[in-house]
Structure 1
Amino acid sequence: MSFKTDILQIIKDESRVVFDKQIEGRFLSDTLGRLVGKADALVFAASTEEVSALLKYADANKISVTPRGAGTNLVGSTVPQNGGIIIDFSKMNKILEFDADTFTATVESGILLKDFQAFVESKGFFYPPDPGEKSASIGGNIATNAGGMRAVKYGVTRDYVRGLEVVLADGSVTWVGSKNVKDASGLSLKNLIIGSEGTLAVITKCILKIIPKPEYSKSVLVPFADLESGISTVQKILFANANPTAVEFVERKVVELGEKFTGIKYPHPEAAAYLLLTFDGKQNEVKENLEIIKNVVLQNGALDFVIPESPERLEEIWKVRGCLVKAVEATSEQEPVDLVVPIDKVAEFIEFVNKTQKKVGMQMVAFGHAGDGNVHLCVVRGSRSEEEWKTELQKNMECVYSKAYELGGLTSGEHGIGLSKRHYFLKETKNTNLQMMNAIKTSLDPHHILNNKISYVL
């Protein structure tokens, strides 16, 4: 039998299978659309049983498989490199159980983050992981261990995954983790899967931890005359034990891009940098913490302590922060960089980036999560030719990553490695660590059919 016939025997509904040249380009790439792969079949799976049958067939025939959520990743994690089968999870998007008694909800992996968050909040609960792209799938969030602005208080996706139903490369279906709060029963297989970018197993169902919805939330904008003063104040904010939900930093030159893109203006245009802070919890607690932080920032050189006068104004301020990548994209092609350095090294790293930008003449737009050291850079192409862009980008990226590693940083804080950051990850990671990762990979996926050629796979 032919490949097409085999696939259609597994997936009885022909409307959920697309072959060869009929596959739309967006399914062969990520949200940027610059890295484009190839595939022999695109399957919109509707059940764990279908995923299991597809993987059993693929493993037996050594056919590559690329799991795909919403395709919102920025590093090429969903780009199929070796043909084969793309398994799309957009139709596996159901909420299977809401269990208030155990503070959990069980969902299929294709459900979108924004839909899940809206559902639990309608029940008076809260799912804290909050990466910038709300149209990402929960399965994709788990596969990259997505972070976001609330990580400084609430942690990252890993901290809210209780259990996973996964399909292994040979088609075996199993659960790792459970509804239980604590687990010292053997190796943490669940945590091996989280952040593995689809290279170890395919996630089909997720048991997620939810918490009571905070009673009250308030954000403030704090302008500074220079970035160093703003970043150095972050440590004092954290040391004040006021428990901020978000601690974001953004330079004025970056805000200007967001202002131009949205038509929204920030206060204090004379500032060189801003901190954007959020606090949530009980109303009295939040108000007390705001007073504490107001004193801290003003004593450390803040130009003001701006509390937005209305929910609409608050939404505008966050809209500017949230659109920065799109604002850069509107002016030029750019390479997004997501790295992390120790929180006391953020200012030094940004200073290095600014000096490098002036030295080499390539714009590098910096912003990010100051509370956990996660720095986002947009390295901007400008008017460079394709050859100039490729050569200069590689050189400047090597420079930026080398500095981050020198400061004790890492390749990625929340986007993952994928294809586009693989070179930098492999260059920095110790061989012993890579050997351990590949031994785990081979034990779970002997024929290396799952999302091969990304991340740690040699």
Structure 2
Amino acid sequence: MKEYNKVSPELIEKFKSIVPGKVYAGEEINTDYTHDEMPIYGKGMPDVVIEATNTEDISEIVKLCYDENIPVIPRGAGTGLAGAAVAIEGGVMIDMTKMNKILGYDEKNFVVHVEPGVLLNDLAEDALSRGLMYPPDPGERYATIGGNIATNAGGMRAVKYGTTRDYVRSLKMVLPTGEITEFGATVSKTSSGYSLLNLIVGSEGTLGIITEATLKVITAPKETISLIIPYENLDECIATVPQFFMNHLQPQALEFMEREIVLASERYIGKSVFPQELEGITIGAYLLVTFDGDSMEELEEIIERAAEVVLEAGAIDVLIADTPNKKKEAWAARGAFLEAIEAETELLDECDVVVPISEIASYLVYVNEVAERFDFAVKSFGHAGDGNLHIYTCSNDMEMDEFKKQVAEFFEDIYEKAIQLGGQISGEHGIGHGKMGFLKKYSGETNMRLMKGIKEVFDPKMILNPHKIVD
């Protein structure tokens, strides 16, 4: 394992001269900086936390760290789920959340310029106030844009509009050497050499520190409407999903959820939103679907067609959330799934595999069968429209070591199955520190060699976010 140096008192004073009042060390560091939203993937106390203010300051800080062989960890809101923003080797953590300005819109070219610490929710609302939409919609709306770019976050609207990668036009970066550069441009197409921009998107802070982003926006749809579609069982629920596309329906979002996770969410938010029983039938699973368009007349026609499709495929009913309050309640329940699980669970781990949508039903049947061999509970939900599934392992009575051992065996099995079906081990949460072993196994030696080579070109001393994605 590579050896790094510790941050000396002299180096701390140099940092303070660059960003006075924004450097924290020792007991001044809040323990929240030691982990992300999935602490099971490790904790680490940075030697120093520095609140970033601008590109030039970050460049100076990183140059000093490069010269002194000090690890540097960029961090946004800390909402990640793979241990990516954790100081495994100590070092300098750069908090990007204070760089949170929306720098301006170029409405003629449909782009917005932002700093990386802007919250997704703030950008979404600001764009909407101008009649525009920034389509990426990961479940955690209080994550930073920089973090979304670093993980190529997908979310609920990816089925229609794509992932974060599809909206990044250009990035200003500080490289691990301290050099400042830019990748990409405002233009919508390019064939100008290797796509360095696309290497950065999804690189989880291992290749450079994003200090400014130019993002594509689109005209906001005038109307949206959501459907809650209950089923007796998960198999029929998931089997319906391909029918939306075969019948030329284009949902903005298409989510599936099992009964248990819905009940947990409703306990958490203190409100009953989804029906538990209809026509004497106990509901076992649900689809939550949103359509958007330019008029309610257009949407009413789409809903009528969608209702015919899902009822023929086995849905018990189609419930329309056609008022702002009903839509808000339905999606608030969906958005609270992770918080609901965390509130009721002592030990927690998760995977976010992605499989072809035609394989979702058979894959989930397999997952549930495998889960019966283990002592933890499994709760599943996810983005049915693009095959990205969130599978949580939960326990309140196992010992930590035994839980980790069983979860590792469980993930090994279900990752193997996902790969066999043509899938990947992560659809949007990334690899971070927690999934490195699985990436190495399922990517193969050739691909890992290429990824490590890319890392070495960008980061010759391996100081930037070490022990993430590749070693």
Give the TM-score of the pair, scaled to structure 1.
0.96
The secondary structure found in structure 1 opposite 2:368 is helix
**RMSD over aligned Cα atoms:** 1.5
**Deviation of residue 11 (structure 1)?**
4.1
Structure 2 contact 253–385 (Cα < 8 Å) conserved: yes
Structure 1 position 26 matched with structure 2 position 32:
yes
The Cα offsets for residues 303-342 of structure 1, whole Å up to 9 and x where unpaired, read as 1111026322322222221111211112112112111111
Match of 1:6 in 2: 11
Structure 2 contact 353–427 (Cα < 8 Å) conserved: yes
Structure 2 contact 371–410 (Cα < 8 Å) conserved: no
Structure 1 position 64 matched with structure 2 position 71:
yes
- Alignment partner for residue 437 of structure 1, among 418, 441, 451? 451
Deviates more, 1:382-391 or 1:225-234: 382-391
**Deviation of residue 359 (structure 1)?**
3.0
- Alignment partner for residue 366 of structure 2, among 352, 357, 360? 352
Deviates more, 1:176-185 or 1:319-328: 319-328
Structure 1 contact 254–324 (Cα < 8 Å) conserved: yes
**Deviation of residue 268 (structure 1)?**
4.4
CA distance in 2, matches of 1:276, 1:248: 5
Amino acid of the residue matched to residue 272 of structure 1?
Answer: G
CA distance in 2, matches of 1:177, 1:189: 8
- Alignment partner for residue 16 of structure 1, among 19, 22, 27? 22
Any residues of structure 2 matched to 1:76-95 within 5 Å, and which?
76-95=83-102
CA distance in 1, matches of 2:276, 2:267: 16
Q: Identity of aligned pairs, percent?
A: 41
- Alignment partner for residue 308 of structure 2, among 295, 310, 331? 295
Q: Which segments of 5 or more consecutive residues in structure 1 lack a partner in the other structure?
A: none
Amino acid of the residue matched to residue 434 of structure 1?
Answer: M
Structure 1 contact 8–14 (Cα < 8 Å) conserved: no
Amino acid of the residue matched to residue 448 of structure 2?
Answer: L
Match of 1:320 in 2: 333
Structure 2 contact 171–213 (Cα < 8 Å) conserved: yes
CA distance in 1, matches of 2:70, 2:81: 25
- Alignment partner for residue 56 of structure 2, among 49, 54, 64? 49
CA distance in 2, matches of 1:372, 1:443: 33
Structure 1 position 387 matched with structure 2 position 401:
yes
The secondary structure found in structure 2 opposite 1:175 is strand
Deviates more, 1:259-268 or 1:113-122: 259-268
Deviates more, 1:246-255 or 1:42-51: 246-255
Structure 2 contact 226–322 (Cα < 8 Å) conserved: no
Structure 1 position 279 matched with structure 2 position 291:
yes
Structure 1 contact 325–378 (Cα < 8 Å) conserved: no
Runs of at least 4 residues of structure 1 off by over 6 A? none
The Cα offsets for residues 196-219 of structure 1, whole Å up to 9 and x where unpaired, read as 001111100000101111100000
The Cα offsets for residues 151-187 of structure 1, whole Å up to 9 and x where unpaired, read as 0000000000000001111111111001111111111
Match of 2:352 in 1: 338
Structure 1 position 366 matched with structure 2 position 374:
no
- Alignment partner for residue 200 of structure 1, among 199, 204, 207? 207
CA distance in 1, matches of 2:404, 2:215: 41
Match of 2:4 in 1: none
Q: Which segments of 5 or more consecutive residues in structure 2 lack a partner in the other structure?
A: 1-6
Distance 1:9 1:346, change over 3 A: same
CA distance in 2, matches of 1:121, 1:309: 19
Amino acid of the residue matched to residue 369 of structure 1?
Answer: H
Structure 1 position 258 matched with structure 2 position 265:
yes
Match of 2:143 in 1: 136
Total equivalences in the alignment:
456
CA distance in 2, matches of 1:349, 1:381: 22
The secondary structure found in structure 2 opposite 1:180 is coil
The Cα offsets for residues 20-76 of structure 1, whole Å up to 9 and x where unpaired, read as 343221112112344211221111010100111111111111111000011110111
Structure 1 contact 220–276 (Cα < 8 Å) conserved: yes
CA distance in 2, matches of 1:322, 1:10: 39
The Cα offsets for residues 332-370 of structure 1, whole Å up to 9 and x where unpaired, read as 121121111111111111111211222324211011000
Amino acid of the residue matched to residue 273 of structure 1?
Answer: A
- Alignment partner for residue 227 of structure 1, among 226, 230, 234? 234
CA distance in 1, matches of 2:360, 2:143: 28
Deviates more, 1:222-231 or 1:400-409: 400-409
